[in-house]
C-alpha cells in the first residue's frame, strides 16, 4: 500500500506541479523497527479476547513487512486508559494506543495528526461524524477505531411471563414494566450499571433521555442542570428506591456483569450496544430492541460511542505507524473487527458493505442511529478526567443516602475546574 508521501507526489505530478518533500529518506525509514501498540479488550472471555484479533492481524501484516514488528498489549477497559496514562507519564509512551479519549494528549503535543500518519484515501474513508468528533481545534488527532449506539434491550420471555405486551416508550411505562417484572419474580427488572467500568455511558444515555446531556448549547459542562438533577432523582426514587434494579447496587454493577446477567435470563431490560446481541443469541435468549424511552413523549437523542486510535510522537516512527494503520483500516480488517465484536464500522466503505449484507440485517437499527447520535465530548481536553470522575462518583447519586443534586453539583465543580485549567494552558 502506498504511503501518504507517495500519494502526494502522484497528485502533484498529475497537476503538473513540483514540490520538495522534506524529511524523506530519514533514519526512521530504514532498518528494523518494533512498534508498540496498547489496545483495549472488547472480548467477554479469553476465547474472544481482542488479543487474538490483534495477533492474527499482526501476523498477516508482518509477513508482508519483514522490517517491521508490532507488539500488542491488550488490557481491559477498566485498566487501559490508566495504563497508557502511566506509560506516558513515565516517558515510555507506546507508538499507538487504542483508548477512550485523545484530546488531552493532543493538546500536550504528544500525538501525530491523522494527516501525519494516514494515507489520504484511508483518512477520507472515515464516517464524517466520527472524523469531526476526533478533532481538536479543527485538526484530527483521534482516529475512530470502533463505534456503537445504544438501544433498550428487553427479554421477550420475561415480558410475556409478566403480562407485558409491548416495549416501553416513556419512563413511566419503563417503571411500570419494571414493577410487573419484579412481581413476576424477575431478579433484575432493569439493570443500571453505574460501576466504574462504563458508568459514563449509562449516565449519558439517561441524561439524553431526560432531555439534556453533558454539555450546554455553547459547549460548556452542565452536569448539574435542573433536567439532569431531575433525571437522577427519578432513577433514585422510581427505580433504585423501589427495588427495581436488582440485588447489586448500581455503583457496584459493571456493564460486563449486567450483560452477562441478561444472557442468563436474569434481567428484564437494560441499555445495550450491538455486542449484547451476539452474547444473548449464543445463550438462546429471545430479545427485542427499541430506542431508549424518553422522559415523557417517547425516545429522545441516542448516545453514540467511538473509541479512538492514537499515534504518539515519542518514538518517532511516523512512517511505520502510518503504514501499519493503513493496513488496520482497510475494509477487510475493519469488517472483521466489527463482525467479531458486533460493533459498527468506522469507515464508509465497511459501513456500506455491512448495510448491504443481509447477514448483517440485525445491525441495521444501530447503523441507522449513528448519524444522529450524540457522542461523548471527547474533543474537550478535560473529558478524560471528567469521565474518570463520573465513573467514581455517579453511582453515589442513586444510593439510599445519595443526593443527586449534591453529587452532580460536585461533578460540575470539578468539571469546571478541569475545563478552566485546560483553557488557561
pLDDT mean over 2-31: 38
Residue 22: per-residue pLDDT: 35
Phi then psi dihedrals of residue 35, to 5 deg: -95, 140
What one-character DSSP code corresponds to residue 236? I
What residues pair up with 149 in beta bridges, in sequence order?
A: 304
Per-position DSSP letters for 368-413, written without gaps between them: HHGGG-EE--TTSTTHHHHHHHHHHHGGGGGSTT--HHHHHHHHHH
Architecture (CATH level 2) of domain 4-16+23-147+305-375? 3-Layer(aba) Sandwich (3.40)
pLDDT digits (tens, 9 = 90+) for 73-98: 999 988 999 999 999 999 999 999 99
Does 149-304+378-424 match 4-16+23-147+305-375 at the fold level? yes
Q: Which grid cell is 85? A: 496514562
Residue 176: per-residue pLDDT: 98
Asked whether residue 72 carries a pLDDT value surpassing 80, the answer given is yes
pLDDT mean over 259-273: 97
| Domain extent listing, the chain | 4-16+23-147+305-375, 149-304+378-424
What radius of gyration, in Å, describes the C-alpha atoms of the chain?
23
pLDDT digits (tens, 9 = 90+) for 150-175: 999 999 999 999 999 999 999 999 99
More reliable by pLDDT, 14 or 245: 245
Residue 19: per-residue pLDDT: 35
The distance of Cα 414 from the centroid of its chain, to the nearest Å, equals 23
Phi then psi dihedrals of residue 151, to 5 deg: -135, 160
Asked whether residue 25 carries a pLDDT value surpassing 50, the answer given is no
Q: Which CATH class is domain 149-304+378-424?
A: alpha beta
Least confident of 18-27, 48-57, 245-254: 18-27
Residue 371: per-residue pLDDT: 78
Asked whether residue 417 carries a pLDDT value surpassing 50, the answer given is yes
Going through 56-184 in order, the beta strands assigned E by DSSP cover 68-75, 96-99, 135-136, 139-140, 143-149, 151-155
Model-level pTM? 0.77
Least confident of 21-35, 105-119, 232-246: 21-35
Amino acid at each position: 500500500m502506498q504511503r501518504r508521501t507517495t500519494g502526494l507526489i502522484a497528485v502533484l505530478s498529475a497537476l503538473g506541479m513540483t514540490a520538495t518533500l522534506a524529511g524523506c529518506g530519514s533514519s526512521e525509514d530504514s532498518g528494523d523497527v518494533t512498534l508498540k501498540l496498547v489496545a483495549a479488550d472488547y472480548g467477554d472471555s479469553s476465547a474472544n479476547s481482542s488479543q487474538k484479533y490483534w495477533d492474527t492481524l499482526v501476523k498477516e501484516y508482518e509477513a508482508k513487512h519483514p522490517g517491521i514488528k508490532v507488539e500488542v498489549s491488550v488490557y481491559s477497559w477498566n485498566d487501559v486508559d490508566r495504563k497508557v496514562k502511566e506509560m506516558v507519564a513515565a516517558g515510555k509512551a507506546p507508538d499507538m494506543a487504542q483508548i477512550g479519549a485523545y484530546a488531552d494528549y493532543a493538546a500536550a503535543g504528544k500525538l501525530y495528526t491523522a494527516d501525519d500518519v494516514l494515507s489520504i484515501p484511508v483518512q477520507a474513508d472515515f464516517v464524517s461524524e466520527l472524523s469531526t468528533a476526533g478533532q481538536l481545534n479543527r485538526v484530527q488527532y483521534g482516529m475512530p477505531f470502533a463505534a456503537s449506539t445504544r438501544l433498550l434491550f428487553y427479554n421477550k420471555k420475561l415480558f410475556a411471563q409478566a403480562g407485558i405486551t409491548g416495549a416501553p416508550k416513556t419512563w413511566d411505562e419503563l417503571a411500570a414494566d419494571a414493577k410487573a417484572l419484579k412481581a413476576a419474580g424477575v431478579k433484575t427488572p432493569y439493570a443500571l450499571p453505574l460501576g466504574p467500568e462504563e458508568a459514563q455511558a449509562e449516565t449519558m444515555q439517561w441524561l439524553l433521555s431526560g432531555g439534556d446531556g453533558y454539555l450546554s448549547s455553547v459547549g460548556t459542562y452542565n452536569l448539574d442542570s435542573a433536567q439532569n438533577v431531575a433525571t437522577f432523582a427519578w432513577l433514585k426514587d422510581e427505580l433504585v428506591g423501589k427495588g427495581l434494579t436488582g440485588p447489586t447496587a448500581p455503583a457496584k454493577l459493571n456493564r460486563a456483569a449486567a450483560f452477562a446477567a441478561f444472557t442468563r435470563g436474569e434481567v428484564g431490560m437494560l441499555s445495550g450496544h450491538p455486542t449484547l446481541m451476539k452474547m444473548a443469541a449464543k445463550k438462546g435468549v429471545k430479545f427485542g430492541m427499541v430506542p431508549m424511552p424518553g422522559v415523557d413523549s417517547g425516545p429522545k437523542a441516542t448516545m453514540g460511542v467511538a473509541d479512538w486510535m492514537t499515534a504518539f510522537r515519542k518514538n518517532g516512527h511516523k512512517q511505520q505507524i502510518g503504514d501499519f494503520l493503513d493496513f488496520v483500516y482497510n475494509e477487510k480488517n475493519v469488517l472483521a473487527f466489527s463482525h467479531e465484536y458486533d460493533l459498527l464500522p468506522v469507515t464508509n466503505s465497511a459501513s456500506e458493505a455491512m448495510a448491504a449484507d443481509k447477514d448483517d440485517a440485525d445491525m441495521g437499527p444501530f447503523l441507522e442511529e449513528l448519524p444522529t447520535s450524540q457522542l461523548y465530548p471527547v474533543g474537550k481536553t478535560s473529558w478524560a478526567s471528567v469521565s474518570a470522575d463520573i465513573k467514581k462518583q455517579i453511582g453515589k447519586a442513586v444510593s439510599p443516602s445519595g443526593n443527586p443534586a449534591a453529587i452532580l453539583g460536585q461533578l460540575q465543580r470539578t468539571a469546571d475546574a478541569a475545563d478552566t485549567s485546560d483553557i488557561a494552558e
